[in-house]
Amino acid sequence: MTENKSIHGEWSSRFAFILAATGSAVGLGNIWKFPYIAGENGGGAFVFIYLLCILAIGFPIMMAEIMLGRRGRQSPINTMRTLAEEAGADTNWHYLGWLGVIAGFLILSYYSVIAGWAGAYVLKSVTGSFSGGNATEIKGIFDGFVASPLQLMFWHTLFMAVTMYVVSQGVKGGLEKAVRFLMPSLFFILILLVGYAMTSGAYEKGLAFLFTPDFSEVTSDSILTAMGHAFFTLSLGMGAIMVYGSYLPKNISIAKTTLIVAGADTAVALLAGIVIFPIVFANGLEPSAGPGLLFQSLPIAFGNMGGGLIFGTLFFVLLVFAALSSSISLIEPAVAWLVENRNMSREMACLWSGLITWVVGLGTVFSFNIGSEFKIFGKTIFDLLDYLTANLMLPIGGFCIAVFAGWVMRKADSQQELELENPWHYQIWKFLVCYVSPAAVFLVFLNVIGIL
């Protein structure tokens, strides 16, 4: 195969790609979702299973997705068509690219709204809205906020505008420049918050909860939840990692780079737990509080502790940074396709894709207030979009990526692209991507649709 060249440019270095791919993977899922699902599933034992799943499922599929992206050097849709032709396979594999592009587009439509909440909470925290508040008052603040379509629309619009501006500036001028600021800042704020958690009075209790396994707490649902989250937290199956891989220079090791990205993503999730659980225990809150842990439980703690205004504000700034580093990767596959196939300038592609995403996002805005009674299959628009993407589209996408990389792509081509020095390393990856990863993702999918 003649080596393809990306018309969108390349990352300037491996470090730039690591920051970008880690930024794509690190998001609300690490800082909002991971702590509460760990809390709901018993802590340490769940974390142990989650780490195993990252290694067995997430790592090989991420390697596969980066490999496909770099070999195709185009948007996911065009990449899958090109690689299918190269393998002598049915070109309908390009629908896998479409699945990823549409999934990323739909996820961003509601992700932007939730990220807007984090932006609003930065302002609420810095102005002292949570100071001295009890559970009823904090719940009232949250309920009043989401009940206002105008407030939600404002923050949704602001977040989308920032996202599209960054993407419009291109690979090096926008994406790379943003992650070079966002990711070090995110880690710096996390370390500051870990230092703060150490003074909370319940640091050891929080660490024990997070890292001491009690396997009596583990259920089959816990295992499947850990599998699912390990897969989703790495941004797999939504086109983002594939399109970022298409900008990866040829001389960079995919395996070593993937290991660093997966490790950094996992470290952020664990650091978030190390920050959150000591604060939760020190303030008598429930670690199993569920999705409300972040926006309803933690503000109680921040509002009633020394230095809470500063560290509460830092925490929600952290959330915004994490959300933005993911959002720019969610829309990039659609923008790349519009530039390649519709002869648009990058700025115009951003304008159209951002505008359509913003309009679809209004469905999520209204799901919490004036449209809360409007339901499809018993779900609000927000719940439906979340269910369709996270529970159906991403598992199908990840499964198909594993199948294509392991079974459809020629062995010589994947060996050439991965360039693993030790032949055994290739055999291990091949075994995982052919058998272990697809089987595990298939089990998650069966659980989601209610068969398991």
437 CB neighbour count, 10 Å cutoff: 29
The boundaries of the domain holding residue 122 are 14-448
Q: What would the pLDDT profile of 316-361 be if each residue is shown by its tens digit?
A: 999 999 999 999 999 999 999 999 999 899 999 999 999 999 999 9
- At residue 298, the pLDDT reads 84
Of 382, 23, 323, the C-alpha closest to 155 is 323
List the one residue out of 425, 448, 443, 445 whose CA is nearest residue 60: 425
User: Is 221 a domain residue?
Assistant: yes
Q: How many residues does the chain have?
A: 452
Please tell me the predicted confidence (pLDDT) of residue 233: 84
Tell me the helix, strand and coil percentages in the chain, rounded to 5.
Answer: 75, 0, 20
Q: 5 in a domain, yes or no?
A: no
DSSP designation for 145: H
Position 402 scores a pLDDT of 96
Helices (H), 342-393: 346-367, 381-386
pLDDT tens string 99-109: 999 999 999 99
Q: Which two tokens stand for residue 350?
A: 């951003």
In the numeric block, which tokens belong to residue 194?
Answer: 């870990």
- CA dist 233 and 49 (Å) reads 14
Indicate which CATH number applies to the domain containing 18: 1.10.4160
Out of 38-47, 151-160, 258-267, give the one with best mean pLDDT: 151-160
Distance of CA 341 to the CA centre of its chain: 27
Question: 1 versus 213: which is more confidently predicted?
Answer: 213
- Highest mean pLDDT, choosing among 42-56, 87-101, 287-301: 87-101
Q: Is residue 120 part of a domain?
A: yes
Q: Among residues 8, 21, 15, which one has the least CA distance to residue 252?
A: 15
In a domain, 9, yes or no: no
15, 451, 378: which is closest to 220 by C-alpha? 451
Structural domain contains residue 258? yes
Instruction: Say yes or no to pLDDT of 1 above 70.
Output: no
Q: Is residue 8 part of a domain?
A: no
At 126, the pLDDT band (50, 70, 90 cuts) reads very high
Residue 2 maps to a domain: no
Phi and psi angles of residue 96, each rounded to the nearest 5 degrees, phi first: -65, -40
pLDDT for residue 264: 92
Please state the domain count of the chain: 1
Residue 307 within any structural domain of the chain = yes
Give, in order, the Cα–Cα distances in Å from 68 to each of 105, 145, 245, 392, 420. 20, 43, 8, 22, 15
> Exposed, middle or buried by CB within 10 Å (0-12, 13-18, 19+), for 322?
buried
Residue 196: predicted pLDDT: 85
Cβ contact 403:438 at 8 Å? yes
DSSP H or E run through 151: helix 149-168
Residue 231 scores a pLDDT above 80: no
